[in-house]
Chains A and B, each alone.
Chain A
Amino acid sequence: MSLIEVKNLTVCDTRNDEVIVKNVSFSVEKNTCLGIVGESGSGKSMSTKAILGLINPWLKATGSAKLDDVELLDMDKETLRKIRGRRFCMILQDAMTAFDPLYTIGAQMIETLCENTDCTKGEAEQIALEALEKMLICDPEEVMKKYAHQLSGGMLQRCIIGMAMALKPEVIVADEPTTALDSINQREVLEEFKRLRELTGMTLIFISHDLGVVQHLADNVLVMRYGECVEYGKVEQIFKNPQHEYSKYLVDTRIALTKIFREAMCKESNYSC
């Protein structure tokens, strides 16, 4: 039995009857990683938000979304909120705006940790510092004292990811978490995701428009377009042998982008061509 099972998820805008997500189905086993790829506006974020009950009040989600065989879509708000806090952790897109501009980073991280786990303030501070170090942030004590507007976008993204990982939830839903990061930081963040999965058996849902990143991390992939599921299956299968035209298009574009880089890196046996 899968940890998360979604069947025929449909999200509709009640104001103008527009269908944003149409009949999406997928399942996520425990300790696996599902990658959701697609261009902006394809409904990737909306699907996951709908499962977690984080969509706007005028949007209605129908279908079925089960966590451990318990239906989430018709659950009452309070129970859903507890599940969101304890078992899920969502790293939203545009993590830069996830921090309250009025409080320091450190204060918010400690607050989140204390709120969602049973640790004291002192322990929370330690955990937060460790998390920031793992994200390759030099001088984490300084960073904890700063406010959101004083740090660059990339730095804020790393703080948010560090905090999410420090909570050690069962499921992390990461929505485009590495967009503002350069290659080194991006690689480090992805390695950390991998490590955490091995360590804690965490399940990961990773949303991205970059196929390279998804290929690196995910076991299964769901390709979305215009709110519909275009293709769904194992990563090696879909990326090696895409069946649908749109998947082929995404794969080809990505290969073309990488090709020149790989050729430039080729010399003797130093880098794999």
Chain B
Amino acid sequence: MTFWQQLKMDKVAVISLTIITLVLLIGIFAPVVAPHDPLGTDIKIKFADASWSYPFGTDQLGRCILSRLIYGIQTTVMLSLITMAATIIIGTLLGVIAGYARGKVDEVIMRICDVLLSFPSEVMILAIVGMLGPGLGNVVVANIASKWAWYTRMIRSLVIQYTDKNYIRFSKVAGCSGTHIMQKHLFPGVVGDIAVLATLDTGWVILNISTLSFLGLGVQAPTPEWGMMLNEAKNVMTMYPSLMLAPGFAILIIVSAFNFLGDSIRDALDPKHNQQKAVLK
């Protein structure tokens, strides 16, 4: 059974994938889907309850929460995906090269990683954003810069475990080129582990972007962003706790969807696991 057939059989994976796709589609078509302008303030109706025209009510400036949530997808989710994608690509490439080549190449890459990893990531992000100036683009760059070293190291150790395996040795003896080995054996081997690592990190990235926005270094108000909405709602938590619900649940749902999807991807890539499931059925 191919990977996709396997994934389709897993109900949890299907649900997660559907949720993520739906969210992404809504985000892309935000101008069409959102009922109101996310930036449109109307102090008169601030803290309004849920109603037909404002399905999730309004926030402290009278803006439609649902619309802000929908536009927030573009900021929160899509930016996180771009950040994750870039981090993973850089980390995987360098990690596989370092793990397979060993020797001097490995030493050089690892020492660079060591230096970068010795900075606490929050401090590094602040420093980079401080140097480049606030703004979403710079937040993304800062996130990538602080995380790629960690991925490189993780993937390198995974690759080293694999290079000790006899089938890699056999391929070398049989005369397979390095790129062939990396492509056919190493990448598929680590992809499963990367999928799980990446999806778990998506939540971290989402929260990171929101933290920076809160500090005024990332998203600038009034751009809608889920984390930012949570932080704004925090200020009126005692009076209007319901304001935290919408963005809070949104983050919960999307991060859970990614986590479950990661698990399912890893399971679908593991032939042994599939066999066991088939037997049990």
Contact = CB atoms under 8 A, between A and B. Distances in A.
Q: Do chains A and B touch in the complex (CB under 8 A)?
A: yes
Interface of A: 15-16
Main secondary structure of the interface of B (DSSP, over half): helix
Interface of B: 279-280
B169 to A, nearest CB: 18
A57 to B, nearest CB: 15
A16 B280 CA distance: 7
Task: List the 3 closest A-B pairs by CB distance, nearest first.
Answer: A15-B280, A16-B279, A16-B280
3 contacts: A15-B280, A16-B279, A16-B280
A47 to B, nearest CB: 23
Contacts of B279: 16
Nearest to B279: A16
A159 B237 CA distance: 63
B269 to A, nearest CB: 23
A15 B281 CA distance: 10
A182 to B, nearest CB: 21
Contacts of A16: 279-280
Contacts of A15: 280
Nearest to B281: A16
A16 B279 CA distance: 8
Contacts of B280: 15-16
A205 to B, nearest CB: 31
A212 B71 CA distance: 76
A273 to B, nearest CB: 39
A32 B227 CA distance: 73
B264 to A, nearest CB: 22
A15 B279 CA distance: 9
B115 to A, nearest CB: 29
A188 B280 CA distance: 45
Nearest to A18: B279
A175 B279 CA distance: 29
A15 B280 CA distance: 7
A205 B280 CA distance: 34
B164 to A, nearest CB: 12
B281 to A, nearest CB: 10
A150 to B, nearest CB: 16
Nearest to B280: A15
Nearest to A16: B279
A119 B280 CA distance: 48
